[in-house]
């Protein structure tokens, strides 16, 4: 939905070969579901290539392989078994030490740095600092598939070793190590089958409350904030939406433009510095031996309802991490359909916010009478979200006494609301 087609086209060959990161695979699959042109390209790519006599060829190759194998098998068996067993034991031990005995495929996320060009082989080696693990040398050569969504960091530059900016990557490595010779020094390295660039380090930094400077990394649709040589604390996605909704497309072009312009200027519905401080506090309390899970912040604006002369949008901020703990805040913006100007939320109601919420609570059996005073006291109009069939009131965490999660209530558009709302502002029934 939000990934550019050009990025998807670059990923398709890797996707076809089954060599891309789980994230990329998901991006491609989501995009193919929604984008007809890329789907056509994918179908063209994945159509079988006709061969002259496939059955004959297959049989001949299979027979040849099978008879060669039988001939060599008995002779090689004893000797081969012993060598294989020793090699396997040594390799396993090395792998275990290096990578906590990870099962194949050999896949890692990490930071790539320090390119070294090897003139004798034409390959380039890098240091890969594996997230949650140890540094390892990897070799990139002409056989390596490189995927980069960044114009400034093309795949070929990685193969040339001409990128000195640290890069965040997903890699797939060959299991068998290779030995690199560099000025009579031997290093064990692993050949990279695939390198997928996910983010590059910018020259920006942001200070934490204790003076620590956080590194800023740029991904395709997100910014990463990481401790120096440490984990990503915070992953902030570029704000999304509003999309080209049918209800919006029906309005005159200049009205549409005015509404979309508003959102290009729209301030973030959260404060970056406090999000960063919050993630850092969680990191300081993190005692598990596992890698700290980056805290994710995502903001999305969608059209939520339509009224005779108003379009209602809802902006949602989601906070979560791999550990779950989702927290969601929703706020509302409304626009006049005839001008595209934002609506002062107070003009949607002929009463004060307190009268409105009291009326809603009085007509509802959702809330106990003793809970009502704090809900009335904390209420603000921008806690409202307008849906076609109901009005949602959400109290963000921290706005009610002893509140641990977002608290929300739905109200139908009945007399409790309609008494105070002009007809031009009441959302259409679905
Ligand atoms: Zn596409």
Domain end call among 200, 217, 236: 200
Note whether 172 and 300 are same-domain residues: no
Determine the distance separating the centroid of ligand 1 and the alpha carbon of 10, expressed in angstroms: 11
Q: Is 409 domain-assigned?
A: yes
Number of domains in the chain: 4
Determine the distance separating the centroid of ligand 1 and the alpha carbon of 148, expressed in angstroms: 17
pLDDT (tens digit per residue) in 357-396: 999 998 888 788 888 999 999 999 989 999 999 999 999 8
Q: Is 193 domain-assigned?
A: yes
Note whether 184 and 236 are same-domain residues: no
Q: Name the 3-class secondary structure at 359.
A: helix
Determine the distance separating the centroid of ligand 1 and the alpha carbon of 182, expressed in angstroms: 45
pLDDT (tens digit per residue) in 195-253: 999 999 999 999 998 999 999 999 999 999 999 988 999 999 999 989 888 889 999 99
Can you tell me the distance from the alpha carbon of 124 to that of 161, in angstroms, rounded to the nearest whole number?
6
Q: Is 52 domain-assigned?
A: no
Backbone phi, psi, residue 283, to 5°: -65, -45
Residue 105 preceded by cis peptide, ω within 30:
yes
- pLDDT at position 103: 52
Determine the distance separating the centroid of ligand 1 and the alpha carbon of 33, expressed in angstroms: 9
Report DSSP state, residue 273.
Answer: H
- pLDDT at position 63: 43
Can you tell me the distance from the alpha carbon of 348 to that of 386, in angstroms, rounded to the nearest whole number?
11
Which residues have C-beta within 8 Å of that of residue 217, sequence separation ≥ 6?
168, 199, 200, 201, 202, 223, 224, 225, 226, 232
Q: Is 66 domain-assigned?
A: no
Per-residue pLDDT of the chain (430 residues; tens, 9 = 90+): 468 888 899 899 889 888 889 889 999 999 999 999 999 999 988 887 655 444 434 443 334 434 333 333 333 333 333 344 444 444 444 444 455 445 556 899 999 999 999 888 889 999 999 988 889 999 999 999 999 999 999 999 999 999 989 999 999 999 999 988 877 788 899 999 999 999 999 999 999 989 999 999 999 999 999 999 889 999 999 999 898 888 899 999 999 999 999 998 887 889 999 999 999 999 999 998 889 999 999 999 999 999 999 999 999 999 999 887 778 888 899 999 999 999 999 999 999 999 999 999 988 887 888 889 999 999 999 899 999 999 999 998 888 887 877 888 999 999 889 999 999 999 997 7
Q: Is 232 domain-assigned?
A: yes
Note whether 195 and 208 are same-domain residues: no
Q: Is 384 domain-assigned?
A: yes
Determine the distance separating the centroid of ligand 1 and the alpha carbon of 192, expressed in angstroms: 28
Determine the distance separating the centroid of ligand 1 and the alpha carbon of 32, expressed in angstroms: 7
Determine the distance separating the centroid of ligand 1 and the alpha carbon of 26, expressed in angstroms: 14
Note whether 214 and 193 are same-domain residues: no
Determine the distance separating the centroid of ligand 1 and the alpha carbon of 213, expressed in angstroms: 38
Determine the distance separating the centroid of ligand 1 and the alpha carbon of 22, expressed in angstroms: 19
Q: Is 343 domain-assigned?
A: yes
- pLDDT at position 148: 95
Determine the distance separating the centroid of ligand 1 and the alpha carbon of 223, expressed in angstroms: 23
Note whether 213 and 188 are same-domain residues: no
Determine the distance separating the centroid of ligand 1 and the alpha carbon of 301, expressed in angstroms: 22
Our measurement of the distance from residue 26's CA atom to the centroid of its chain's CA atoms, rounded to an integer in Å, reads 10
Determine the distance separating the centroid of ligand 1 and the alpha carbon of 5, expressed in angstroms: 4
Determine the distance separating the centroid of ligand 1 and the alpha carbon of 219, expressed in angstroms: 19
Closest CA to 357 of 372, 345, 343: 372
What is the domain extent for residue 22? 5-44
Domain end call among 138, 169, 200: 200
- pLDDT at position 82: 38
Note whether 240 and 257 are same-domain residues: yes
Long-range Cβ contact pairs of 156-160 (< 8 A, separation 24 or more): 158/115, 158/124, 158/195, 158/197, 159/124, 160/117, 160/124
Average pLDDT, the chain: 85
Can you tell me the distance from the alpha carbon of 22 to that of 179, in angstroms, rounded to the nearest whole number?
30
Paired tokens of 308: 């005779």
CATH number at 155 reads 2.40.50.140
Note whether 356 and 324 are same-domain residues: yes
Determine the distance separating the centroid of ligand 1 and the alpha carbon of 41, expressed in angstroms: 9
Q: How many CA atoms lie less than 13 Å away from 42 in the CB half-sphere?
A: 22
Note whether 180 and 276 are same-domain residues: no
Helices (H), 109-187: 155-160
CB 46 within 8 A of CB 16: yes
CB 159 within 8 A of CB 230: no
Note whether 300 and 323 are same-domain residues: yes
- pLDDT at position 364: 85
Note whether 338 and 224 are same-domain residues: yes
Determine the distance separating the centroid of ligand 1 and the alpha carbon of 12, expressed in angstroms: 11
DSSP letter string, 18-74: T-S-HHHHHHHHHHHHH-HHHHHHHHHHHSPPP-SSHHHHHHHHHHHHHHHHHHHHH
Determine the distance separating the centroid of ligand 1 and the alpha carbon of 4, expressed in angstroms: 7
Note whether 180 and 275 are same-domain residues: no
How many CB atoms within 10 Å of residue 40?
11
Q: How many CA atoms lie less than 13 Å away from 188 in the CB half-sphere?
A: 10
Determine the distance separating the centroid of ligand 1 and the alpha carbon of 294, expressed in angstroms: 29
Q: Name the 3-class secondary structure at 6.
A: helix
pTM over 0.85: no
Which residues have C-beta within 8 Å of that of residue 106, sequence separation ≥ 6?
99, 172, 173, 174, 175, 190
Beta partners for residue 395, in sequence order: 407
- pLDDT at position 37: 92
Determine the distance separating the centroid of ligand 1 and the alpha carbon of 42, expressed in angstroms: 10
H or E element in which residue 349 lies = none
Note whether 299 and 336 are same-domain residues: yes
Paired tokens of 273: 């510095």
Paired tokens of 132: 């949650």
């Amino acid at each position: 939905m939000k990934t550019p087609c050009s990025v998807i086209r670059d990923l398709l060959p890797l996707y076809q070969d089954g060599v891309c990161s789980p994230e990329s695979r998901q991006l491609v699959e989501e995009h193919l579901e929604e984008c007809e042109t890329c789907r056509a390209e994918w179908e063209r790519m994945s159509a079988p290539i006709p061969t002259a006599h496939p059955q004959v060829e297959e049989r001949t190759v299979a027979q040849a392989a099978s008879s060669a194998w039988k001939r060599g098998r008995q002779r090689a068996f004893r000797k081969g078994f012993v060598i294989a067993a020793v090699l396997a034991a040594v390799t396993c031990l090395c792998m275990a030490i290096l990578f906590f005995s990870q099962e194949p495929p050999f896949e890692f996320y990490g930071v790539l740095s320090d390119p070294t060009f090897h003139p004798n082989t034409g390959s380039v080696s890098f240091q890969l600092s594996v997230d949650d693990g140890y540094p390892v040398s990897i070799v990139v050569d002409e056989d390596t598939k490189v995927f980069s969504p960044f114009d400034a960091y093309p795949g070929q530059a990685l193969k040339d070793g001409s990128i000195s900016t640290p890069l965040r990557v997903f890699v797939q490595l060959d299991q068998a190590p290779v030995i690199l010779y560099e000025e009579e020094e031997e290093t064990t390295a692993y050949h990279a089958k695939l390198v997928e660039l996910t983010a590059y380090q910018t020259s920006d930094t942001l200070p934490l409350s204790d003076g620590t400077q956080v590194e800023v990394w740029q991904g395709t649709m997100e910014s990463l904030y990481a401790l120096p040589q440490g984990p990503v604390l915070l992953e902030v996605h570029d704000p999304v939406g509003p999309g080209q909704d049918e209800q919006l497309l029906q309005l005159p072009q200049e009205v549409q433009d005015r509404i979309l312009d508003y959102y290009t200027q729209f301030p973030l519905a959260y404060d970056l510095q406090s999000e960063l401080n919050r993630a850092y506090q969680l990191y300081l309390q993190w005692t598990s031996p596992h890698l700290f899970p980056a805290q994710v912040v995502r903001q999305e604006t969608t059209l939520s309802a339509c009224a005779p002369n108003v379009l209602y949008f809802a902006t949602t901020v989601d906070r979560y991490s791999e550990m779950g703990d989702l927290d969601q805040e929703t706020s509302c913006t409304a626009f006049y359909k005839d001008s595209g100007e934002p609506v002062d939320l107070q003009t949607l109601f002929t009463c004060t916010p307190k009268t409105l919420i009291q009326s809603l609570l009085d007509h509802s059996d959702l809330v106990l009478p003793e809970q009502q005073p704090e809900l009335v006291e904390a209420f603000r109009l921008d806690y409202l979200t307008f849906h076609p069939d109901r009005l949602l009131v959400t109290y963000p965490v921290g706005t009610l006494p002893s509140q641990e999660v977002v608290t929300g209530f739905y109200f139908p558009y009945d007399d409790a609301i309609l008494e105070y709302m002009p007809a031009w502002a009441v959302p259409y029934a679905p």
